[in-house]
Amino acid sequence: QKEVEQDPGPLSVPEGAIVSLNCTYSNSAFQYFMWYRQYSRKGPELLMYTYSSGNKEDGRFTAQVDKSSKYISLFIRDSQPSDSATYLCAMSDFTGGGNKLTFGTGTQLKVEL
Amino acid sequence: GAGVSQSPSNKVTEKGKDVELRCDPISGHTALYWYRQRLGQGLEFLIYFQGNSAPDKSGLPSDRFSAERTGESVSTLTIQRTQQEDSAVYLCASSLVRNEKLFFGSGTQLSVL
């Protein structure tokens, strides 16, 4: 079993829809949670990060962490065609002294006009 | 530089040849990471540098893989005697200090024929 599970999609939604992306994890030592967006042939770009359970909002994006359920979510409101990309969740337990991240496989999102 | 720079962007090689991949981190970033992204899979951690030292090499898949960093700046990932299963995108990331947000380059697409 992978430490981080993420539905690979693809997920196709109409423009303006609310998108929900999710990951589950098994390592209770994870304490730092991130969402990255990756466009084709580009490196991942950090969207959201949080250290604690609860919600964090940034514009159209809301990150939600539930440590008791080992479940994290990213919500995208008023989705746009430019949001079409692969979304990767990532987590860290800070072992080894660095910020070594464990990634999900990514969910491919397409927002259609 | 403005971002993490990786070269070459694409590399095609024959099985058994050695390859070198280069990463120029963001100026002043002390931590540097290498990840591998196989098609349809999440990013796999390879190695972490703090300054010129590598306290965590746990992700290097075999002794054919090695990496170094000099001048607390440029890093080179070397793969000796390449195999077809080495085909992947190799991504480099840097952060200002350890345990901080990672910024990724666009990666090197390695194809082993």
**Contact assessment for residue A86 and residue A109, using Cβ atoms and an 8 Å cutoff:** yes
Report whether pLDDT(B16) > 80: yes
From chain B residues 13-42, the ones with a CB under 8 A of any chain A CB are 31, 33, 35, 40-42
Q: Is the dihedral of CA B49, B42, B109, B15 positive or negative?
A: positive
Regions in chain A scoring below 70 on pLDDT:
95-98
The whole-angstrom distance between A90's CA and the closest CA on chain B is 9
pLDDT digits (tens, 9 = 90+) for A19-41: 999 999 999 989 889 999 999 98
Q: How far from B41 is each of A48, A96, B20, B67, CA to CA, in Å?
A: 21, 24, 23, 22
pLDDT at A95: 67
Residues on chain B touching A94 (C-beta within 8 angstroms) = 99
Residue B69: band (very low, low, confident or very high) from pLDDT cuts 50, 70, 90 = very high
Mutation target among A39, A51, A100 for the B interface, most CBs of B within 10 A: A100
